[in-house]
Amino acid sequence: MAARRRPEPEQEPALVAGIALTHPDRVLFPEQGITKRELARYHETVADWILPELAGRPLSLVRCPQGRRKACFFQRHPGATVPDRVETVAIPGEPEPYLAVRDLPGLIALVQIGVLELHPWPARAATPEHPDRLILDLDPGEGAPFEGVVAAARIAREMLTGLGLASFVKTTGGRGLHVVVPLASAHGWAAHQAAAKTLAERLAATAPDRLTTAIRKAERRGRIFVDWLRNARGASAVAPYSPRARTGAPVAMPLAWDELGPGLDPATFTVRTVPGLLRNRPDPWAGIASLRQALPEDL
């Protein structure tokens, strides 16, 4: 007969940003012993950086209520267990509203229900038919070294600069990088996705032996997949400063372009290391929210 699971001992709720955390000592990242309380404190510390990337955007969430090694699932729409401080936004044409947050209590309320990852839309809820972020996701296939991802990101930046577009870069909490282009949200999804596809194909054409836009995984072995599909309506990408539900509690970390070098190791950016890094570090994405760029007409 299988052993019966011992019930978790009752714990006094902990208050973070006015939100009561039940079972605050529940371990969410078992390898590091990171608890719900510690994850909430992480978000409290990085709130000034992460909230501008989340507020006002529809969200897709990765929830792991019992920790990252137990059952995890995506959630986009409200359910019976969503706290009051988490907002909902109606999107025209969608049968159900999306989840959203606007402030620190809302963010901590997501931690309370076991949210480990936050993935915003590349459009705001107020203007859902007009995306304002174009994302080139550089995803290394099996056998592709991270140095090649760094080189691809640099080529992408040069290509975008040649088109008059400023770009920003971040780690993904994995082995890839995101090159992000802020836009003026003056176009629709069809033009947005077409532009992203064209840019991805142009980038891949610069080094077809190392880069590809092929969707089939078998064709990506040893190469870097330039993924443009995150630019579709309803798609999302991991938020800057969001943890990932992976070993090591890694964080998707915004970088300055001069930080992309041979010594860069994305695994060094974690729930435990990022708060200290932010204390005396200039914001490499300063000004991204106010930068309004138009897609070139020749794309």
Alpha carbon distances (Å) from 107 to 132, 261, 282, 291: 22, 33, 23, 25
Question: Greater confidence, 81 or 28?
Answer: 28
Quickly count: other Cβ atoms within 10 Å of residue 201's Cβ: 14
Least confident piece of the model among 23-27, 81-85, 260-264, 283-287: 81-85
Can you tell me the distance from the alpha carbon of 10 to that of 23, in angstroms, rounded to the nearest whole number? 7
Model pLDDT, residue 84 = 85
From the list 182, 183, 212, the residue with the least C-alpha distance to 200 is 212
Quote the tokens at residue 163. Answer: 């088109």
Model pLDDT, residue 4 = 45
- 14-120 placed in CATH 3.90.920.10: yes
Can you tell me the distance from the alpha carbon of 125 to that of 5, in angstroms, rounded to the nearest whole number? 43
- pLDDT tier, 185 (very low <50, low <70, confident <90, very high otherwise): confident
Q: For the whole model, what pTM was predicted?
A: 0.93
Q: 133-278 has which fold?
A: Alpha-Beta Plaits (3.30.70)
Q: Looking at residues 281-291, what average pLDDT do you find?
A: 94
Question: Greater confidence, 9 or 243?
Answer: 243
- 103-125 pLDDT, tens digit each: 999 999 999 999 999 999 999 99
- Give the mean pLDDT of the chain: 93
Q: Looking at residues 128-155, what average pLDDT do you find?
A: 96
Q: Is the pLDDT of residue 102 over 60?
A: yes
Model pLDDT, residue 16 = 97
Question: Greater confidence, 136 or 218?
Answer: 136
Can you tell me the distance from the alpha carbon of 8 to that of 76, in angstroms, rounded to the nearest whole number? 28
- pLDDT tier, 9 (very low <50, low <70, confident <90, very high otherwise): low
Question: Greater confidence, 142 or 82?
Answer: 142
Model pLDDT, residue 92 = 92
| Residue 187 backbone phi and psi in degrees, to 5 | -130, 170
Quote the tokens at residue 75. Answer: 């959630």
Diameter of the chain measured on Cα atoms: 68
Model pLDDT, residue 82 = 80
In the chain, beta strands by DSSP E: 14-16, 19-21, 27-29, 34-35, 59-63, 73-75, 87-89, 98-100, 115-120, 133-140, 168-171, 177-182, 211-212, 224-227, 254-255
Location of structure tokens 């000592």: 25
- 199-216 pLDDT, tens digit each: 999 999 999 999 999 988
Amino acid at 163: L
Compute the radius of gyration of the chain from its Cα atoms.
20
Q: Is the pLDDT of residue 8 over 90?
A: no
- Dihedral class, residue 93 (left if φ above 0, else alpha if ψ from -120 to 50, else beta): left
Model pLDDT, residue 159 = 98
Q: What is residue 251's three-state secondary structure?
A: strand
CA atoms within a 13 Å half-sphere pointing along the CA-CB vector of 245: 23
- 39-76 pLDDT, tens digit each: 999 999 999 999 999 999 999 999 999 999 999 999 99
Model pLDDT, residue 239 = 98
- Tell me the domain boundaries of the chain: 14-120, 133-278
- pLDDT tier, 218 (very low <50, low <70, confident <90, very high otherwise): confident
